[in-house]
Structure 1
Amino acid sequence: MSTFPRMHVSLYVSDLAATVNFYTAFFGQPAAKIKPGYAKYVLDEPSLIISFVQNPERVHSNFGHLGFQVETLMQLQARLAAAQRAGLVQRQEMGTSCCYAKQDKFWVTDPDGTEWEVYYFHEDAEFNDPRYQQEYDQAADSSQCCIAPAVATKAVPTMAPMAFTLIDTGAAAGSACTPGGGCC
């Protein structure tokens, strides 16, 4: 049996237009599909299908984070520069030891507070950076890793208007994607 060809993630969002603006800048490509209350991106590297369903009532604040590992420091620097140009970077952590690994990374946060980590893995480490220790100690599960220090969330920068019109679906937005409906 072969490996899965592509990963799929679906996230609930509160404002689809803001989400599409953010992810178009972050991914560096437009959405592959946009429908009322729904948008989907198909990425080749990494192989990922990520969809967004507008449903403010189902946005979860207890979600951890998502991330991309890059293969070279040059790729990390290129992605960091692009994210900085778009005004997306929340913080940088270079030479940190997180999740028992030495890494260089930066973080972005989408309009609903979902954090994305873009990182380069240098090598395994026998310890975690001490600046994370207080958060580890306070966590219900002491085995958690990659708990980023709390920071004030800044507003998503105003970007160029989208090249399409989204239809405000109001309360019906939550029903735009149903199991078995083929929208995801």
Structure 2
Amino acid sequence: MNRFHVHLNVADLASSIRFYTALFAAEPAVRKDDYAKWMLDDPRVNFAISQTGRNPGVDHLGIQAESGDELAELGHRLDAAGGTVMPEAGAVCCYAQSDKLWTEDPQGTRWETFHTVGAATSYYASQAMCGTEGATCAPAASPVEAVAAAPRSGCAPGSACC
């Protein structure tokens, strides 16, 4: 079963953690100096917040798949919706390693579908994998089927992820 994903940029991580911990009546499943994530079952959502210097507000929405097959099915649905689907295999982001498919809806809201395959020790992959400090490695637009063969970029398309 898939899980809805919401990622917010926040100005004050500690205050936001207090607020969402009270709202969800649960401690974050992951808590770092710049990031926190709740894996809730009621409602079934992967809710993440980060303080990485970006403007506060919704960063992106998404759907977390529980398997590679579910991710592929979501990719076909994204493709049918008509947006450009950008695969990102083996991405390191938000203290996790995931295979991802990115797109935007008609008004430009970024959507991330992903299947997490492991943990990571950093928010992003090392900048050495991307080139210059602060750079991102956006994969070229390609068909959904290419997700398994996509190069391991190590960075999120656009600017943030998770």
Whether TM exceeds 0.5 here: the answer is: no
* TM value normalised by structure 1: 0.39
Which structure is larger by alpha-carbon Rg, 1 or 2?
A: 1
- Of Structure 1 and Structure 2, the greater strand share is in 2
